[in-house]
Amino acid sequence: MTSVWKEIKWTNFIMLTVAGIVNAIGVTMFLAPVNLYDSGISGTSMLLWQITPEWLSLSFFLVVLNVPLFIFGTRKLGWEFTLYSVYAVLIYSGASYLIIHVLPVDVSIASPLAEQDLFLCALFGGLISGVGSGLTIRYGGAIDGVEVLSVIFAKRLGVTVGTFVMIYNVALYTLIGLIRQSWILPLYSIVTYAAGLKTVDFIVEGLDKGKAAMIITAKPRQVGAALSAAFSMGVTLMDAHGFYSDSKRTVVYFVVNRFQIAKMKEIIRRVDPGAFVTITEVAETLGQGALPMDALPGGKSAPLLPRQRVRRKRRESAKRASGEAPLPLPDSVEEASLRA
């Protein structure tokens, strides 16, 4: 347990405090006043709060339903995650209690900002609570115990974590419709869920997601040199073998952001119009290979190793002997090519 305290980043608690308060604002000032529902355990807490005696508050259910789940999931997710999550839930619960019962804000029959407009309440309630949830995830925790349930039980049930969460929420909204004898509120709550989901993705992963390109080309060195020169980034070359053609191929692996994709495609088409390219989304990039060359120590990529310089000289000598002018490559491209 001592090692856990050493791993805790105490500055994270500042952002977790902000996350809990923001989440409470979205739920208590937009959703709850018009009987809309959040997703997961938060939505379950809202439902129980509305159908049980008045002395059982939303804050009570948020703590009673969430905290045991986080403690139960400690073995799989670790004490650090549990501490961050329980703290965020306590802040969320406390802020909800203050807004509903203490602060001079009337949230009993309408949203103080969007009044009784169900669409505005659903949209902005989802966006704001999504910011709170996203911040919690970004700083090491979770604000809703359904994520813990999904991690623990999804594999046992033979479904993915995302499928488990979706099934839980569909069941929750169906139950709400049956209890309320109306499907309007559950349908608007799905709008809340969708808005919150996209907001969480934005907060956790950011706007500038990376894109990974795998380029199968007959001109790997020319393509690599052109891409490296255009973007000042390292390039990795990997050996491959074509099944149908039964011939050797080279795959160029290159990571860019979404604003650079058009330029990358243009360069590939110009250098090798017949290249086969796939582009996939990258959640996160780490390490020196993820940085521009001018961001590395000294403003350049790491120098070539002696054996790499020997290989380079041999290739250049072979090209001169054959009468072919060697392709000038910066050291960084050469190094990136040899890393594979």
| pLDDT tens string 51-96 | 999 889 999 999 999 999 999 888 888 888 899 999 999 999 999 9
Closest CA to 129 of 221, 195, 52: 195
Which 3 state secondary structure label does DSSP give 252? strand
Q: Quick one: what percent of the chain has pLDDT higher than 90?
A: 47
pLDDT (tens digit, 9 = 90+) per residue, 9-31?
A: 888 999 999 999 999 999 999 99
Q: What percent of the chain has pLDDT over 70?
A: 81
Q: Is the pLDDT score of 149 beyond 90? A: no
Above 60 in pLDDT, residue 307?
Answer: no
Confidence label for 334 from pLDDT (cuts 50, 70 and 90): very low
Q: Which fold has domain 210-302+330-339?
A: Alpha-Beta Plaits (3.30.70)
State the pLDDT at residue 163.
85
Q: Tell me what pLDDT residue 153 has.
A: 82
CA dihedral 28, 30, 32, 33 (to 10 degrees): 110
Residue 233 binned pLDDT confidence (cut-offs 50, 70, 90): confident
* pLDDT at position 191: 94
Q: Pick the range with the lowest mean pLDDT from 66-70, 133-137, 156-160, 273-277.
A: 156-160
Q: Which of residues 136 and 330 earns the better pLDDT score?
A: 136
Confidence of residue 314 (pLDDT cuts 50, 70, 90): low
Residue with tokens 């019962």: 101
**Mean predicted confidence (pLDDT) in 302-310:** 46
**Residue found by looking up tokens 């060697």 in the block:** 326
Q: Which stretch, 92-101, 108-117, 145-154, 277-286, has highest mean pLDDT? A: 92-101
pLDDT digits (tens, 9 = 90+) for 180-216: 888 999 999 999 999 998 898 888 877 556 789 999 9
Q: Pull the structure tokens for residue 139.
A: 């700083």
Among 16-20, 150-154, 196-200, 227-231, top mean pLDDT goes to 16-20
Instruction: Spell out the residues 6+ positions from residue 232 whose beta carbon is closer than 8 angstroms to its own.
Output: 292, 293, 294
Q: How confident is the model at residue 4 (pLDDT cuts 50, 70, 90)?
A: low
Residue 120 has pLDDT above 90, yes or no: yes
Q: Quick one: pLDDT at residue 176?
A: 94
Best CA proximity match to 252, nearest among 282, 285, 213, 226: 213
Q: pLDDT higher for 256 or 19?
A: 19
Amino acid type, 70: F
Predicted pLDDT of residue 223:
92
- Domain ranges for the chain: 2-205, 210-302+330-339
Q: Measure the CA–CA gap between 115 and 176, rounded to whole angstroms.
A: 22
CA 131 to chain centre: 13
Q: Where are the alpha helices (DSSP H) in 27-111?
A: 40-51, 58-72, 74-77, 79-97
Q: Do you know the residue count of the chain? A: 340
